[in-house]
Amino acid sequence: NAGVTQTPKFQVLKTGQSMTLQCAQDMNHEYMSWYRQDPGMGLRLIHYSVGAGITDQGEVPNGYNVSRSTTEDFPLRLLSAAPSQTSVYFCASRRTVAETQYFGPGTRLLVL
Amino acid sequence: KQEVTQIPAALSVPEGENLVLNCSFTDSAIYNLQWFRQDPGKGLTSLLLIQSSQREQTSGRLNASLDKSSGRSTLYIAASQPGDSATYLCAVMGSGGSNYKLTFGKGTLLTVNP
């Protein structure tokens, strides 16, 4: 298994540009989540999904959209990037609520 | 709202020492608690998962305990090695309506000196 994969590893955007962060898992996990990690703030939940076609907001959802058309993929869309969205983004998945959560390697995003 | 606190924020110890990392949470209505390790520039690696009905879990030199009623968990690392140097994160999963969400502490940065 490749586990949880994320692309790209690093991205530089200009303010106002849009982009999609990709996340995929090959473990047939129902639950997938997106987090951002900022110095002094820890990891914060952006959006999550409990299965294909079902998504919900986390703690910091503003400026981000998600969709879940397949079990494997959970892309995160930035509609109009802002410098405040400079962060490291992690995707995670788990099979059930009671089981271990697995994280991807992260995407470092810099918005100028 | 659940809040998770990790003490200390940073810890430096000589190789071979036994050490304890602390995690506290404000809402005892949790589903489970997970300890992670994060190396610089990397993702999170799960170390131990404790269900709310359990008191402890062990994996090799690591032992995690959970006291749900007091809102505390500890991660015990025996015979520390330089390779244990990393940031250790504690995360709790709420029960009931919030049971899909993990709330993280800010982590303890551990340095083990040779």
CA atoms within 13 A on the CB side of B13: 23
In this prediction, residue A97 carries a pLDDT of 82
How far, in Å, CA of B50 to CA of B73, rounded? 10
**pLDDT, tens digit, for every residue of A10-22?**
999 999 999 999 9
Q: Is the pLDDT of residue A7 over 80?
A: yes
Interface test with B, best of A100, A107, A108 (most B CBs within 10 A): A100
Between B57 and A97, whose confidence is greater? B57
Nearest chain A residue (CA) to B88: A42
Residue B50, beta-bridge partner list: B33
Closest CA to B58 of B69, B45, B74, B37: B74
Are β-strands B108-113 and B56-59 bridged in parallel, bridged antiparallel, or unpaired? unpaired
How far, in Å, CA of B82 to CA of B51, rounded? 30
How far, in Å, CA of B11 to CA of B112, rounded? 8
Average pLDDT over residues A58-81: 96
How far, in Å, CA of B29 to CA of B92, rounded? 10
pLDDT level of residue A98 (50, 70, 90 thresholds): confident
Residue pairs spanning A and B at CB distance below 8 A: 53
How open is the CA angle A12-A14-A18, to the nearest 5 degrees?
90
In this prediction, residue B95 carries a pLDDT of 78
Residue A90, beta-bridge partner list: A35
Spans of chain B below 50 pLDDT: none
Nearest chain A residue (CA) to B108: A42
Which 3 state secondary structure label does DSSP give A10?
A: strand
Instruction: Please indicate whether, in this complex, the C-beta atoms of A102 and B46 are within 8 angstroms of each other.
Output: yes
How open is the CA angle A51-A45-B30, to the nearest 5 degrees?
80
Instruction: Please indicate whether, in this complex, the C-beta atoms of A103 and B31 are within 8 angstroms of each other.
Output: no
In this prediction, residue B1 carries a pLDDT of 85
How far, in Å, CA of B29 to CA of B71, rounded? 9
In this prediction, residue B96 carries a pLDDT of 67
Residue B45, beta-bridge partner list: B37
In this prediction, residue A42 carries a pLDDT of 87
**pLDDT, tens digit, for every residue of B37-51?**
999 989 999 999 999
- Shortest distance, CA B106 to any CA of chain A (angstroms): 5
Closest CA to A106 of A37, A19, A60: A37
Contact B60, B69 (CB under 8 A): no
Spell out which chain A residues touch chain B, with contact meaning CB-CB distance below 8 angstroms: 4, 31, 33, 40-45, 48, 50, 56, 58-59, 90, 92, 97-106
Residue whose token pair is 């100028």:
A112
A68's CB contacts (< 8 A; 6+ apart) are A32, A49, A51, A52, A53, A54, A55, A74
